[in-house]
Amino acid sequence: MQPDNRFLDDLSQTSVRVEPALTLESPDAASWDADCDVLVVGVGLAGVCAALRAAEDSNLQVMAIDRGLGGGASQLSGGVIYMGGGTRAQQEAGVEDTPENMAEYLTYETGDIVRGDTVRRYAEASSGFQDWLEKYGARFGGPMTEEKTSYPNDASLYYSGNELTVPGRERAKPAARGHRAKPAAGGEPKKLSGEYLLPPLIASMEARPNVRFMRHTRATRLITDADGAVIGIEVQTISQGAAAWRHGMAMKLCNNIVAASLGLTSKLYGAIVGIEAGAKPLRIRVRKGVVLSAGGFTHNRPMMAKTALPSYQNSHPLGTIADDGSGIKLGMSVGARTDLLDRISAWKFVYPAESWVRSCSVGPDGERLVGEEYYGARTGDAVFQKGGGKGWLIMDEPIQQMVREEIASMKKMLFQKIQFRATQKDYTVSAPTIEELAQRLGLPPEKVKATVEAYNGHIDRGEPDPLGKSEKYRRPIRTGPFYATDIGAALKLSPIPALTMGGLVVDEDTGQVLSAEGGVVPGLYAAGRTAVGICSNYYVSGLSLGDCVWSGMRAAEAIKGNGGAAALVAGQ
């Protein structure tokens, strides 16, 4: 296998430097510091699911390593898992869904990124995700909401994608499949639910007698035998004690909005790198398989600059500093195939307030930008790929008044309060006419006027919206003053978060990493955002975490010899 080292030297300030793979001619004669059957690199949702599933076989010794405290981008997320086909939460809420119905909808989002039978298997397996995750301490259930929202503050089951849009309804019967993780029984949801999802799963993993979890540990090099099979890994680890405590605190504070607003991020980065300089090297032998589940590379902007459009540099990295591409680079170092490294999921929600959906979006050329009803990933995609990072919502006084009233009546989390206040006060401008509004924005006045008139004309003539907006959200924009709300990438208090969607290409039945030269890389598997997966075409809320569950479990089942995806149908 020829290694692919194109990106090994594309490093951010905090990136882990991945070394070319080490080949051992006589592994049995080499010196090893530890050994295990299965080793998991990165303990976000994909990693913890891989470790838990592998550890269900008590004959296997499992090791899991994480650069930080564990949890990764999954713990920072909204904690929503896209699952359906008849989950217990769906049944209790009276939601009718089948794996076939779910698969029909998901083929609209996944396109040709994965095979049709992979989508069907995912849909079938997802109906059992809730029961499996709850066995290890996670909680899901109702209530359900019909509200169009990017994140439900008072509900735990909702329409998290494009199920209710015109194209979504044409393909499948709409069903709520966004399952938001819940706090412990009797608790009120007061934070993003990734904080409710990951800690109990990690605690359950650590409680398994055949699992060893090493925090503050970075993977730096894979080890192969003479035939190219992955048989081990080299890591750098910080011993438990004061250094580990400081490292953990710095890693945690890096993702704190208060620390970021005080300009402390760069100092924290420096502290992390300084502490890691004293880490101890270890060489671990792995008998059955290494699972790379170390996230994507949204925190490695030099690597992103080499793969994605320049406009994405203005997106906000959603993840931890460990989302630096090191997992992908480890695979490349042993000749793994990669794909879709240019694919970024950037989310700009124009709801809530739901009334914003009634507006008409425009890009810097004055043309309509996107169907305003669509899920935020499609809006973000349009902002970056069509608008070069810029976009606005155009509305009139009646729509703006609806927005004001809706925001005033909403129950909001702190981050939503900050964003709504900034959006209305700092990122919205008004003018008596559409032309004057366009001039204030630096847009071509006649083009913006023509776009709004065309938008109104389709409504007046009773014609379907050209971009597929549902009738309930269509309203002519005629009564001044007129308003423009900025939905671009350069808004400090309303940023556009982004995840990378591409990575290592895997066998869709087993999760085993494919070789660029053909065949597989023996002993190597990938899961979550380190791999190309279900969500790598168009993202909807919960689909990345759903793919983490699916791909983590799939890799474990393949390593155990149970056939990978074939073992993940409901009830197995």
Q: Which pLDDT does position 571 carry in this prediction?
A: 53
**Ordered strands of the 178-180 beta sheet:** 80-82, 178-180, 157-158
Residue 1: closest CA among 284, 232, 226: 226
| All domains of the chain in start order, with CATH | 22-77+209-238+279-346+497-564 (3.50.50.60), 80-180 (no CATH), 354-486 (3.90.700.10)
Cα–Cα dist 86/91, whole Å: 6
Residue 141: closest CA among 106, 172, 173, 176: 176
Give the 3-state DSSP-derived string for 206-242, with helices as H, strands as E and coil as C: HHCCCEEEECCEEEEEEEEECCCCEEEEEEEECCCCH
Confidence of residue 492 (pLDDT cuts 50, 70, 90): confident
Residue showing tokens 């924290």: 268
- Rounded to 5°, angle at Cα 349 from 100 and 538: 40
Cα–Cα dist 431/422, whole Å: 19
Residue 503: closest CA among 330, 321, 301: 330
Q: Which pLDDT does position 238 carry in this prediction?
A: 97
Q: Which pLDDT does position 474 carry in this prediction?
A: 96
Q: pLDDT tens digits, residue range 408-438?
A: 988 777 777 888 888 889 899 999 999 999 9
Could you tell me if 1 and 227 are in contact, meaning their C-beta atoms sit under 8 angstroms apart?
no
Q: Is 529 helix (H, G, I), strand (E, B) or coil?
A: helix
Cα–Cα dist 366/59, whole Å: 63
Cα–Cα dist 443/82, whole Å: 39
- Our CA dihedral for 350, 355, 361, 364, rounded to 10 degrees, sits at -70
Q: Which pLDDT does position 23 carry in this prediction?
A: 97
Mean pLDDT, to the nearest integer, of 93-104? 97
Q: Which pLDDT does position 1 carry in this prediction?
A: 64
Cα–Cα dist 82/92, whole Å: 17
Q: Which pLDDT does position 412 carry in this prediction?
A: 73
Mean pLDDT, to the nearest integer, of 257-262? 67
C-alpha separations of 118 from 127, 271, 511, 532 in Å? 15, 43, 11, 13
Work out the percent of the chain whose per-residue pLDDT is above 90. 83
Confidence of residue 153 (pLDDT cuts 50, 70, 90): confident
Report the chain's terminal Cα–Cα distance, integer Å.
35
Q: Which two tokens stand for residue 149?
A: 């929202």
The runs of H, that is alpha helices, within 277-351 are 301-307, 326-332
Mean pLDDT, to the nearest integer, of 508-528? 97
Work out the percent of the chain whose per-residue pLDDT is above 70. 97
Q: Which pLDDT does position 486 carry in this prediction?
A: 95
Can you say how many angstroms the Cα of residue 298 is from the centroid of all Cα atoms in its chain? 10
Q: pLDDT tens digits, residue range 13-58?
A: 999 999 999 999 999 999 999 999 999 999 999 999 999 999 999 9
Q: Which pLDDT does position 491 carry in this prediction?
A: 84
Residue 554: closest CA among 523, 511, 524: 511
Confidence of residue 266 (pLDDT cuts 50, 70, 90): confident
Q: pLDDT tens digits, residue range 314-349?
A: 998 989 999 999 999 999 999 999 999 999 999 999
The single-letter DSSP state of residue 144 is B
28-65 burial string, b = 16+ CB within 10 Å, else e?
eeeeeebebbbbbbbbbbbbbbbbbbbbebeebbbbbb
Q: Which pLDDT does position 258 carry in this prediction?
A: 65
Could you tell me if 449 and 431 are in contact, meaning their C-beta atoms sit under 8 angstroms apart?
no
Q: Which pLDDT does position 570 carry in this prediction?
A: 45
Cα–Cα dist 347/80, whole Å: 15
Cα–Cα dist 335/294, whole Å: 18
Residues, the chain: 572
Confidence of residue 572 (pLDDT cuts 50, 70, 90): low
User: What letter represents residue 392's amino acid?
Assistant: W
Cα–Cα dist 161/151, whole Å: 11
Cα–Cα dist 557/549, whole Å: 12
Q: pLDDT tens digits, residue range 154-166?
A: 899 999 999 999 9
Q: Which pLDDT does position 419 carry in this prediction?
A: 83
Confidence of residue 119 (pLDDT cuts 50, 70, 90): very high
Could you tell me if 493 and 301 are in contact, meaning their C-beta atoms sit under 8 angstroms apart?
no
Confidence of residue 223 (pLDDT cuts 50, 70, 90): very high
Could you tell me if 505 and 513 are in contact, meaning their C-beta atoms sit under 8 angstroms apart?
yes
